A and B are shown apart, each in its own frame.
Chain A
Amino acid sequence: MNKPILIGMTALALAIGGCAKKTPPVETAPPVTATDTGAAANGDVDLVELPAMQADLVAKAGSDTVYFGTDEYQLDTASQATLAAQARWMLANTKVRASIEGHADERGTREYNIALGERRANAARDYLVAQGVPAARLLVVSWGKERPAAVGSNETAWAQNRRVVTVVVR
């Protein structure tokens, strides 16, 4: 006795279903697209790292990196000395630019750490500018906690990750 009812249901389902076949099959959609190639379209020139020049900076300035306290962005005297030496190198190598790259340790949330890395990078950039490096030769980027230098989850690793790296670029 149930059978006729089920058939009736099906007929109704069909009737309602018939009026909405516009549905584009979204789920079958797109291939992986040419994402990540938008830089040119956005008017940027991709920055190219210069490993030999980078090594020269490290050799002449003592280091390409300065370090920070937890959740801090002040430059201590050691950092200032390193940056002053980097500034001298930049003034002697006028053909290159530098990407001043701020990083944070993993103990902050993702977005906050981008803000914190920007503060750190900006503090280093300002110091380089104060030493006479033209601001136009310095770019600032924050990597937040996305690119740790040390992989551990301990104070030693965190201290190495709270940093600004001066990356020589063309």
Chain B
Amino acid sequence: MKLIVALLALPLAAAASAQDSGPLEVDVVGGINAPMAIAVPFMPTPAPLPTPAGDTVQLGRSVAEVVAADLRSTGLFTPLGPVGVRAYAFPEAASPFYAEWRNAGASALVSGYVEARPDGRITVGCYLHDVSAGRELTHQGFAVPATEWRRAAHKCADTIYSRLSGEQPFLDTRVVYVAETGPKNARLKRIAIMDSDGSNHRYLTTGKATVVTPRFSPRGDKLVYMSYQGRMARVYVMDVASGAERLLIPGRVTTFAPRFSPDGRDIVFSMASGGNTDLYVVGANGGSPRRLTATPGADTSPSYSPDGRQIVFESDRSGTQQLYVMDADGSNQKRITFGGARYASPVWSPRGNMIAFTRIGGGGFRIGVMAPGGSGEKTLTDSWQDEGPSWAPNGQFVMFHRTARGSGDATLYAVSVNGGRARILPTPLGGSDPSWSPLQN
């Protein structure tokens, strides 16, 4: 779906009175320890009107709540409000009383409005102000069907996050994962999809067959995953909108660990036969697989570099699970991990500068990152079992799942590559194997 970006005209007053303070920005690295206080009051409406998603007064409240929650989730901000801060009148959206927000302790202010349009859509106006300097930093307008007001709220939060952090947006995204319920030895596993803040949750499979490792296509319109339909471990491709699914490689051959290439044309995966697992690539619409590796080791968990030229994967050809990088045609296979632990499930950052992985050592699994050459290893989490990393589209956050010792209950978490505490992504049931979608248009 295309979301309309409506450029709003410049407000007047404020710009002229801008003081000469330094630029307002959050320190992405240090921000975890010193989040920026940002006021997010309820958004007013120029005229209270009904929409298919409630009236514009209520929508203004809801949009502000989602924006505040999104900003808090980045770890860079401490939102003030929307509850507990003064709601302002419509004209103030573009020209706030800066002194008031300064006195409230805010460094920045998100203002805006929600307006019903004659075509049944709504416009969400979104303004970011530097409260100390007393000036507007940016503004954007989003016209969406009223029922998709959350998308506009996420776009507003992305605008603010991006302007203040200097990073690419990532909040208007979705997550697909394995919803888990039931006892450990008879667990029901279904593919579920939701917005990255947990809303709009729904199941894509019934649970009749166990499924694992769903992963988005680069455009977010398809999934590739492994399912036990027919009592076989095999890779399937699903169209997200229709739910239609297709077996990738016909016949009774074990296929797993699938991922799309960055251009969406190919799927790289593992095929196991005769006790040996190797990597193969096949067109996303099927065809004859081409073999990429041919060692006696278990070669699995492949992930393309964002330019599509290389693949990182794990192999135990050396005796233990280690990470390797090769050219996309299977040539130039090179081991990159020598850290004394085992390394598994690597994923290449969408920015290309890092590889996230599961580090197995000391009786536990941890999520870590390193440069594609293997240098600069950093551990991001500390628990009994953290595995299955997936990157946010801006390469700043990694989602993964944490399994509890004993119960085996799994929970989705996200952590910043700059460190700090991992935060839970609430799901209705247990959750594992998250895949973060690309940014929605």
The verdict on A153 contacting B408 (CB below 8 Å), with A17-B143, A42-B229 known, is: yes
Size of the chain B interface, CB-CB below 8 angstroms: 99
Kindly state whether residue A114 has any CB partner on chain B within 8 Å.
Answer: yes
Contact (A110, B209) CB under 8 Å given A39-B229, A42-B230: no
Q: Are B125 and A13 in contact (CB under 8 A)?
A: yes
Does residue B287 face the partner (Cβ distance < 8 Å to A)?
Answer: no
Interface 0/1 of B165-209, CB less than 8 Å to A: 000000000000000000111010100000000001011111111
Q: Is A166 an interface residue when CB atoms closer than 8 A count as contact?
A: no
Are the C-beta atoms of A153 and B206 separated by less than 8 Å? Answer: no
Q: Among A25, A36, A139, point to the contact of B252 (Cβ < 8 A).
A: A139
Q: Is the CB of B4 within 8 A of A73?
A: no
Partner of B2, one of A23, A36, A42: A23
Does B270 sit within 8 A of A, measured CB to CB?
yes
- Whether B314 contacts A112 by the Cβ 8 Å rule is yes
B183 near A151 (CB under 8 angstroms)? yes
Bits for B241-265, please: 1 = Cβ < 8 Å to A, else 0: 1111111001010101100000000
Q: Which residue of B lies closest to A169 (CB)?
A: B231
* Shortest Cβ distance from residue B98 to the other chain A in the assembled complex, whole angstroms: 14
Name the CB-closest residue of A to B95. A2
Interface positions, chain B 222-251, Cβ under 8 Å from A, are 226-233, 236, 238, 241-247, 250
**Are B365 and A110 in touch, CB under 8 angstroms?**
no
Within the complex, what minimum Cβ distance (angstroms) separates A62 from chain B?
23
Question: Which of B6-14, B16-24, B330-338, B370-378 is the interface stretch?
Answer: B6-14
Is B145 in the interface zone, CB < 8 Å from A? Answer: yes
CB pair A151–B184 under 8 Å, yes or no, is yes
Q: Are A109 and B257 in contact (CB under 8 A)?
A: no
Q: Is the Cβ of A6 less than 8 Å from the Cβ of B46?
A: yes
Q: Does B91 contact A (CB under 8 A)?
A: yes
**In contact, A114 and B272 (Cβ under 8 angstroms):** yes
* Contact of A35 with B243 in the complex, beta carbons under 8 Å: yes
Complex CA gap A151/B203 in Å reads 26
Q: How far apart sit A20 and B143, CA to CA, in the bound complex (Å)?
A: 10
Q: Say whether A64 faces chain B, with CB atoms less than 8 Å apart.
A: no
Contact A35 B117, beta carbon cutoff 8 Å:
no
A interface, how many residues as a size bin? 35 or more
Q: Does B247 lie within 8 Å of A149, measured CB to CB? A: no
The CA of A99 and the CA of B6, in the complex, are separated in Å by 59
> Which chain B residues numbered 396 to 410 have a C-beta less than 8 Å away from chain A?
403, 405-406, 408
| Shortest distance between the CB of B408 and any CB in chain A (Å) | 7
The SS class assigned to the B binding surface is: mixed
Which of B94, B208, B274 interacts with A5 by CB under 8 Å?
A: B94
B410-433: CB near A (< 8 Å → 1, else 0) gives 000000000000000000000011
Task: State whether B247 touches A118 (Cβ < 8 A).
Answer: no
Contact in complex: A115, B230 (CB < 8 Å): no
CB distance from B115 to the nearest CB of A (A): 6
Complex contact A10–B115 (CB within 8 A): yes
Which of A30, A36, A152 makes the CB contact (< 8 A) with B229? A36
Please report the number of residue pairs spanning A and B whose Cβ atoms sit closer than 8 angstroms: 238
Q: What separation, in Å, do the CA atoms of A21 and B276 have in the docked complex? A: 52
Question: Would B254 and A142 count as touching, CB distance under 8 A?
Answer: yes
Question: Is B275 touching A43 in the complex (CB atoms < 8 A)?
Answer: no
Complex contact B241–A30 (CB within 8 A):
yes
Evaluate whether A33 and B230 lie within 8 angstroms (CB atoms) in the complex, with A9-B141, A110-B212, A118-B272 already known. no
Q: Which residues of B contact A14 (CB under 8 A)?
A: 6, 117, 123, 143
A147 — nearest CB in chain B belongs to which residue?
A: B185
**Smallest CB gap from B246: residue in A:** A38
Contact of A6 among B94, B208, B226 (CB under 8 A): B94
CB of A3 closer than 8 Å to a CB of B? yes
A29 part of interface (Cβ distance < 8 Å): yes
Contacting residues, chain B, for A17 (C-beta < 8 A): 4, 6, 117, 119, 121, 123, 143
Question: Does B70 interact with chain A (Cβ within 8 Å)?
Answer: no
User: Given the complex, which residues of A lie within 8 Å of B277, measured CB to CB?
Assistant: 115, 118
Tell me whether A111 and B274 are in contact (CB under 8 A). no
Whether B403 pairs with A106 at a CB distance below 8 angstroms is: yes
* Chain A contacts with B in 5-60, Cβ cutoff 8 A: 5-6, 8-10, 12-14, 16-18, 20-39, 42-44, 46-47
Complex contacts, A159 vs chain B, CB 8 Å: none
17 further A-B contacts with Cβ under 8 Å, apart from A39-B229, A110-B213, are A2-B95, A5-B9, A13-B8, A14-B117, A33-B204, A35-B243, A36-B207, A38-B229, A46-B230, A109-B301, A109-B365, A109-B388, A111-B213, A111-B301, A144-B233, A146-B228, A153-B408
A interface, CB within 8 angstroms of B:
1-3, 5-6, 8-10, 12-14, 16-18, 20-39, 42-44, 46-47, 73, 99, 106, 108-112, 114-116, 118-119, 122-123, 126, 139-144, 146-153, 169
Report, nearest first, the 10 A-B pairs whose CB atoms are least far apart: A33-B243, A17-B143, A13-B6, A122-B275, A115-B298, A44-B230, A36-B208, A9-B8, A2-B91, A115-B277
